[in-house]
Amino acid sequence: MITFFALAILLGLLAESLQSAEGFANVQSIMDNFLVKLIIWASLTALMYHIVGGIRHLIMDMGYWEELDSASSSAKISFIITAVLAVLMGVIVW
């Protein structure tokens, strides 16, 4: 549910920034606030978690990583990938 909320925020900001130079300046001024940056970062992190988890489940639907040991390993790897992407999103936002 939060992923759709995050996507709506991000697409709204993108639409505002692409409409005109004033819209872009407005989004830039909004992004100067630490709390807004934190919300954007959290939204992007949730989105990355959702994407990584979805790819993992697609691979599991193909018949791989279905056993307990391999499923546990793939879950740990997906958390690590999500953490790396969260750091990357933090660098991009800040």
| 30-64 per-position pLDDT tens digit | 999 998 899 889 989 988 999 999 999 999 999 99
Locate tokens 């959702």: which residue?
50
pLDDT value at residue 7: 81
Structure tokens at 66: 């279905």
The number of domains in the chain is 1
Distance CA 26, CA 40 (A): 16
Q: Does 20 score more than 80 pLDDT?
A: yes
Residue 70 domain boundaries:
2-93
Q: How far apart are CA 49 and CA 31, in angstroms?
A: 23
Across the range 11-34, mean pLDDT stands at 93
Any known ligand binding at 50? yes
Tell me the pTM: 0.81
The CATH number of whichever domain residue 69 belongs to comes to 1.20.1300.10
> Cα separation of 84 and 91, whole Å?
11
Assess contact for 6 and 46: CB atoms under 8 A: yes
